[in-house]
Structure 1
Amino acid sequence: MRLVAPLLLLSLTLTACDRPAPLPQGSVQRVALEESGQRQAMAEVSPDTSEASWTVATDGQAIRFGNRDEPPLLTLACDVDATPPQLVIIRHARAFPGQSALFPVLGNGMSSRFLVDAKLADGEWHWEGRLPADDPQLEVFSGTRDITATLPGRGMLEIAGGRITGEFLEWCRAGGRPEPVESETATEEPGDEA
Structure 2
Amino acid sequence: MRCSLVPIVLILALAACDRPEAPVGGQRISLDDARGTVEEPLASPDTKDAKWTVAKNGQSIDFGIEGGKPFMSLSCKLKDAPPTIHIIRHVTTRPGEKALFPVIGNGMISRFKVDATLADGEWRWEGAVPAEDGSLEVFTGRRELEATLPGAGSLMIEGSAIPGEFIDWCRKGGAVAKAVEKEEDKAVEEMKAE
TM-score norm. by structure 1 comes to 0.77
Unaligned runs of 5+ in 1: 1-19, 185-194
Unaligned runs of 5+ in 2: 1-19, 184-194
Q: Partners of 1:131 and 1:144 in 2: how far apart?
A: 21
User: Pairwise mapping of residues 137-176 of structure 1 onto structure 2 (< 5 A)?
Assistant: 137-176=135-174
1:45 lines up with 2:75 in the alignment: no
Aligned with residue 56 of structure 2, among 45, 55, 58: 58
1:79 lines up with 2:77 in the alignment: yes
TM-fit CA distance, 1:23: 4.6
Q: How many pairs were matched up?
A: 167
TM-fit CA distance, 1:69: 2.3
> For the pair shown, which has the larger CA radius of gyration, 1 or 2?
1
Q: Partners of 1:52 and 1:183 in 2: how far apart?
A: 32
Q: Deviations over 1:134-167 (max 9, x none)?
A: 1000000000000000011111100000111111
Q: Which has the higher helix share?
A: 2
SS in structure 2 of the partner of residue 144 of structure 1: coil
TM-fit CA distance, 1:44: 1.1
Residue type of the partner of 2:146?
T
Residue type of the partner of 1:141?
F
TM-fit CA distance, 1:31: 3.2
TM-fit CA distance, 1:43: 1.4
Q: Partners of 1:83 and 1:60 in 2: how far apart?
A: 19
- Equivalence for 1:90: 88
SS in structure 2 of the partner of residue 48 of structure 1: coil
Percent of paired sites with the same residue: 50
TM-fit CA distance, 1:97: 1.2
TM-fit CA distance, 1:68: 2.5
Q: Deviations over 1:81-132 (max 9, x none)?
A: 1111111100111211111111000010110000111111111111111111
- Equivalence for 2:126: 128
Residue type of the partner of 1:57?
A
- Equivalence for 2:7: none
1:111 lines up with 2:109 in the alignment: yes
Q: Partners of 1:61 and 1:79 in 2: how far apart?
A: 7
Q: Partners of 2:148 and 2:162 in 1: how far apart?
A: 20
Distance 1:183 1:162, change over 3 A: closer
Q: Partners of 1:32 and 1:99 in 2: how far apart?
A: 28
Q: Partners of 1:109 and 1:121 in 2: how far apart?
A: 32
Give the superposed CA RMSD.
2.5
Residue type of the partner of 1:134?
E
TM-score norm. by structure 2 comes to 0.77
Q: Partners of 1:53 and 1:168 in 2: how far apart?
A: 14
